[in-house]
Amino acid sequence: MTTPKPPAACLIGWPAAHSRSPLIHHYWLRTLGIAGGYVIEAVPPDDLRDFVLRLSLRGFVGANVTIPHKEAVLDLSAPDARARAVGAANTLWFEDGELRATNTDVEGFLDNLDASAPGWDKAEEALVLGAGGASRAVVFGLLERGFKRINLANRTLARAEALAAQFGPNVHPLAWDGINDVLPRARLLVNTTSLGMHGQGALEVDVARLPPEAVVADLVYVPLVTPLLAAARARGLRTADGLGMLLHQAVRGFELWFGRRPEVTAELRALVEADLTKT
Ligand code: ATR
């Protein structure tokens, strides 16, 4: 009699991704008592098609996908509405034998705000900074939650305009120097740019101009408390940080692969925080 192999998922990237995902998924496997695995697979672009089409034959129940493959996997799978709208997928799983793809950044962003600032989505107007891939997930999530007006500021205005053209009339492109004018009406401010990250430029936004009930979210998680979040907290505003989004976006993949919905616990957060800050 042969013993069935425990289910395993992998992270597909190239070159070999440096990622906290193994730490997160191993923590959940361990604490939930599930026999399973999560490994990193370095897959060059030329091998992606073969790797993904033979994912199940290779013994995997699903995968995360990272740079540079997040767009290419859309053509190799059946993407859901979120992956299609964002134009990129980060999670693959099998449903009735079919390889499906989704983008869990959308719910990572939303679930993190739900956990960090309950009631945040009663607001109708948001200001989103940046118009790259991360911004698309954020904008799609805000539209799902019924935001009526999303001001979208980007250094390169044309990218904000392109995103607005795709997502419809509730999204209003804005030049970077127009930020100050809309801050007083922003009940939610989200930074999706790399500004404020270690080694990158500073994000110059005057949080004093935000209304007192505003919530501030930053997708940057190195440092854990960005200057934007520190300034918002000093003003007494509620905040949602980038590490929270990273942890919450991992929940759905685990649930799809291993059949149990895991929790983002303080213990998990501390574990990943320690890994981020180790020298
Ligand atoms: P991601 O997938 O993480 O969103 P991206 O697609 O490279 O990454 O987008 C990066 C975002 O950060 C963009 O909005 C970028 O602005 P541009 O579209 O003008 O490039 C923004 N960004 C990066 N560096 C910036 C800087 N120094 N000032 C303002 N915005 C910056």
- Does residue 87's CB lie within 6 angstroms of at least one atom of ligand 1? no
Nearest to residue 135, comparing CAs of 166, 97, 94, 111?
A: 166
Q: How many A from CA of 134 to the centre of ligand 1?
A: 9
Mean pLDDT rounded to a whole number for the chain: 96
Q: How many CA atoms lie within 13 A of 32 on its CB side?
A: 21
Pocket test for ligand 1, best of 86, 194, 200, 246 (most atoms within 8 A of CB): 194
Q: Do domains 8-104+250-277 and 106-240 have the same CATH topology?
A: yes
Q: How is the chain split into domains, by residue range?
A: 8-104+250-277, 106-240
Considering the chain, what percentage of its residues have pLDDT values greater than 90? 96
Q: How many A from CA of 76 to the centre of ligand 1?
A: 28
- Does residue 68's CB lie within 6 angstroms of at least one atom of ligand 1? no
Q: Supply the pTM of this predicted model.
A: 0.95
Extended beta strands in 37-144, E state: 37-42, 60-65, 78-79, 91-95, 98-102, 125-129
- Is residue 66 within 8 A of residue 39, CB to CB? The reply is no
The rounded distance, in Å, linking the Cα atoms of 121 and 123 is: 5
| DSSP output for 75-94 | GGSEE-HHHHHHT---EEEE
- Does residue 223's CB lie within 6 angstroms of at least one atom of ligand 1? no
- Is residue 235 within 8 A of residue 75, CB to CB? The reply is no
The rounded distance, in Å, linking the Cα atoms of 237 and 209 is: 12
- Does residue 194's CB lie within 6 angstroms of at least one atom of ligand 1? yes
Nearest to residue 140, comparing CAs of 124, 164, 158, 157?
A: 164
Confidence band for 3, pLDDT divided at 50, 70 and 90: low
To the query of whether residue 70 is one of the catalytic residues in this protein, the response is: yes
Q: Which residue lies with its CA nearest to atom 11 of ligand 1? A: 193
What is 8-104+250-277's CATH number?
Answer: 3.40.50.10860
Q: Which residue lies with its CA nearest to atom 24 of ligand 1? A: 194
Residues 57-107 pLDDT 10s = 999 999 999 999 999 999 999 999 999 999 999 999 999 999 999 999 999
Residues 4-20 pLDDT 10s = 688 999 999 999 878 99
Q: How many A from CA of 229 to the centre of ligand 1?
A: 19
The rounded distance, in Å, linking the Cα atoms of 265 and 276 is: 17
Extended beta strands in 96-186, E state: 98-102, 125-129, 149-154, 171-175
- Does residue 154's CB lie within 6 angstroms of at least one atom of ligand 1? yes
Strands 8-13 and 37-42: parallel
Question: What's the DSSP call for residue 235?
Answer: T
Q: Which residue lies with its CA nearest to atom 16 of ligand 1? A: 155
Average pLDDT over residues 165-181: 97
Predicted pLDDT of residue 2: 65
Average pLDDT over residues 197-217: 97
Predicted pLDDT of residue 5: 83
The rounded distance, in Å, linking the Cα atoms of 260 and 31 is: 12
Q: Which residue lies with its CA nearest to atom 3 of ligand 1? A: 134
Q: How many A from CA of 55 to the centre of ligand 1?
A: 33
Residues 96-154 pLDDT 10s = 999 999 999 999 999 999 999 999 999 999 999 999 999 999 999 999 999 999 999 99
- Does residue 20's CB lie within 6 angstroms of at least one atom of ligand 1? no
Q: How many A from CA of 42 to the centre of ligand 1?
A: 26
Tokens read off for 50: 């073969």
- Does residue 156's CB lie within 6 angstroms of at least one atom of ligand 1? yes
What is the three-class DSSP state of 165?
Answer: helix
Q: Which residue lies with its CA nearest to atom 12 of ligand 1? A: 193
Nearest to residue 248, comparing CAs of 277, 214, 219, 215?
A: 219
Tokens read off for 200: 């990158």
What is 106-240's CATH number?
Answer: 3.40.50.720
